[in-house]
Structure 1
Amino acid sequence: MTDTNGTAEQAPGQQEQSEQDARHAAVAAHPFVAVTIQSTGIHPSTGRLVSVDAVTFDADGEIGEEFHAVINPGSDPGPHHFHGLTHEEVAAGQRFSQVLRTLDRLIDDRTLIVHNSPRVWGFIVSEARRTMNAAARANRSRGRGRGRGRRRRQRVGHVPRPAAIVDTLASARRQEIAFEDTRLGGLATALGIPDASPVATVDRAQVPEEETSREQSLLLIDVHETLREQGPLCEREPSELRADRFGLQRTHVRVDAVEAPRPHPNPGVYVPGRSLVQGMEVVVAPEIEMDPNDIIEACLREELAYSEKLTRQTSVVVCNKTTDLRGKAMHAVRKGIPLLSDVAFMAAVERGVTPAGR
């Protein structure tokens, strides 16, 4: 087929096949994509995305495509210092529906690299589903209205489909790397990557958000490459994950454990040196080397209770750190709740859990 100028044209099927071939070649050339986000809060259930930055790359760290967008969520963007964007910049941004198909193209079939996957992947999934639901409602409304069939249906894209998701923060913990600041810059500093300090400065506050977000994406690539050279990475398939009540994308094992009914009354705080007792409430801190799923599955198998939240009813906290405590471990010690390393906890399980009521 030729056009009026004699140039060969492709049939629709051929054009679609050519586009698919070109995309497959692009993914093969750069099979990884690093994504960083800015949001109005820490939980996808209550916060919204205000920017997303993505960079594709290969195993040698060579950059492929680059993408950045400011997102207008249509709601209060929150304070400037939290994400680096003014209200005016957010108001001038695109709707997520305008960028979702681009994100699909960049993320689908690639290995997605993020820092703190429950939060980052949680926001991406939450925004995608919110956008898709809005489009579905609009399409149903068009179908019921006058002039049915005359207006085009909205096609906004889908929840991205990465081949796998690598979490650099979780990977560093599985490798037992010592770091105090869990932000990407803090981990990079601990890994010896130069010029990676997470400390805020007046000069840095003057840098446009697009520039700082791109710096973070490139730093994420460096952190990923360093961790990959040092040991195993924490990698999940999207099918392993689902949203918890905060919209954070966690494993099915973890979410199911939180939602599971308590098998027995809580017998109280664990006494070091004695046996665990059925019904004891176990909290798993992030600072462990084992896969948390293994510990949580052991809890359910032995009829212990699992909780994400540490309270005075917590019986024991699984944590490998014993000094410079932060977060759950620090609060556990303050409340008089004992800590057990992941190895010690699993050994206690292997020795046998005392049945409830004894």
Structure 2
Amino acid sequence: MRHTLSRSYAAPGSGTLEAMKSDPYIALTVQATGIHPASARLISIDALTFDESGKVHRAEHFVINPETDPGPKHVHGLSPEEIAAAPTFDKVLKRLGSLIDGRTLVVHNAPRTWGLIRSEAKRVMSAAAHRNRRRRRQAPQRVGHVPTPLKIIDTLASARRQGIRLADTRIGGVAHALGVPSPSPVATVERAARPAADVARERSDILLAIFLALKSGKLASYLPEDLVPDRFGLQRSAIRVQAAKARRYHNPGRFEDVLKQGMEVVVAPEIEVDPDKIIQACRDLKLNYSEKLTRETSLVVCNQRDELRGKAMHAQRKGIPLVRDVDFLAAAGRLN
């Protein structure tokens, strides 16, 4: 089934309780100076609030001056002059918070997108607190707060939970896999010539359509209070971050048929089970969980067997066994 993009915009509303009742969702896409929230800075944010049917009620686009090297124009489509004339993040945080607060936040790649928003909010709040301490005789500066979405839905992780094979994990690639109309995700001269705001809005429209296509199935949904930053600033589940830091047990080697205490487990993205379920089993059984694949890795939990990419591809090259999520949990049950 193919889905059409929603471009029916109602009159702009406000981030009040009544507005959130009429449009309880917000689809949000970002552009930044880098990959990792701990070191990257936001350059643009595009947001659409919408209702259960996918009708857009409010559309907002922010260009942000990161006060650092924004990187090449072909990455984000903005000229140095446009970026220099834009407000800094502390000037837009209140407006952004009014959009996100109390709504279900829909993003593509939640660890990075939510990580960028949270890192930027924390940074400007800390800077404002520092200035306020130095200006004790003056009225304190209020820059806003870390936005408080009701929950966060990750469309990329949701597609994987629903067993959708993805040759390209970008928004356009996932749209193509779902039959959602979208332009090719491959960069073109024509796209580079378009205004950055138009390209960003197109990306947000596609994200909204992807969500509608996935909505009736299993969704990867997170409560913001359950997420914490890893060492790169990516927002991940607390259990995942804690497991990666946990003390290590003696590793008996590669997995063959039976799990053994101390084996090192890496979880690839291409699984249908919630990764936290795999990680919890590792902790319960005193297995070593690792984010990074090395020659010491005992096994990689991954459902895909062909057209491998990322961790699974490197595991295959190193001769490390790939184990399906259900098979891993069955083996964990036998060890338990």
Q: Deviations over 1:47-67 (max 9, x none)?
A: 110011111000111111111
Partner of 2:55: 62
Partner of 2:3: none
Kept in 2, the 8 Å contact 1:283–1:314? The answer is: yes
Q: Does 1:331 align with 2:314?
A: yes
Q: Does 1:247 align with 2:233?
A: yes
Partner of 1:307: 290
The one of 319, 329, 332 equivalent to 1:349 is 332
**Residues 285-300 of structure 1: matches in 2 within 5 Å?**
285-300=268-283
Q: Does 1:267 align with 2:252?
A: yes
Deviation at 1:22, TM superposition (A): 7.8
SS of residue paired to 1:224: helix
Kept in 1, the 8 Å contact 2:48–2:59? The answer is: yes
Partner of 2:66: 73
Moved more, 318-327 or 65-74: 65-74
Q: Does 1:207 align with 2:194?
A: yes
Q: Which runs of 5+ in 2 are unaligned?
A: 1-13
Deviation at 1:196, TM superposition (A): 3.5
The one of 18, 26, 33 equivalent to 2:19 is 26
Partner of 1:3: none
Deviation at 1:197, TM superposition (A): 2.1
Partner of 2:169: 182
Deviation at 1:134, TM superposition (A): 0.5
Q: Which amino acid aligns with 2:68?
A: S
SS of residue paired to 2:38: coil
Deviation at 1:79, TM superposition (A): 1.5
SS of residue paired to 1:200: coil
Partner of 1:5: none
Q: TM-score, normalised by structure 2?
A: 0.94
The one of 295, 299, 304 equivalent to 1:321 is 304
SS of residue paired to 1:180: coil
Q: Which runs of 5+ in 1 are unaligned?
A: 1-20, 354-358
Q: Distance in 2 between matches of 1:347 and 1:28?
A: 43
Kept in 1, the 8 Å contact 2:182–2:206? The answer is: no
Q: Deviations over 1:47-95 (max 9, x none)?
A: 1100111110001111111111111111111121222222222111111
Deviation at 1:351, TM superposition (A): 1.4
Partner of 1:16: none
> Which structure's relative contact order is higher, taking Cα pairs within 8 Å and 6+ residues apart?
2
Q: Distance in 2 between matches of 1:240 and 1:172?
A: 21
Q: Distance in 1 between matches of 2:35 and 2:207?
A: 19
SS of residue paired to 1:283: strand
Q: CA RMSD in A?
A: 1.1
**Residues 106-125 of structure 1: matches in 2 within 5 Å?**
106-125=99-118
Kept in 2, the 8 Å contact 1:186–1:196? The answer is: no
The one of 8, 25, 43 equivalent to 1:50 is 43
Deviation at 1:34, TM superposition (A): 0.5
Percent identical across equivalent pairs?
56
Deviation at 1:152, TM superposition (A): 2.7
Kept in 2, the 8 Å contact 1:37–1:53? The answer is: yes
Kept in 1, the 8 Å contact 2:160–2:272? The answer is: yes
Deviation at 1:243, TM superposition (A): 0.4
- Computing the radius of gyration from Cα coordinates, the structure with the larger value is 1
SS of residue paired to 2:16: helix
The one of 210, 216, 223 equivalent to 2:210 is 223
Q: Which amino acid aligns with 1:45?
A: A
Q: Deviations over 1:121-149 (max 9, x none)?
A: 00000000001001000100101xxxx2x
Kept in 1, the 8 Å contact 2:15–2:98? The answer is: no
Which portions of structure 1, spanning 4 or more consecutive aligned residues, are displaced by more than 3 angstroms?
none
Q: TM-score, normalised by structure 1?
A: 0.89
Kept in 1, the 8 Å contact 2:29–2:204? The answer is: yes
Kept in 2, the 8 Å contact 1:188–1:196? The answer is: no
Deviation at 1:195, TM superposition (A): 2.9
Partner of 1:160: 147
Q: Deviations over 1:300-328 (max 9, x none)?
A: 00000000011111110000000000000
Kept in 2, the 8 Å contact 1:317–1:338? The answer is: yes
SS of residue paired to 1:135: helix
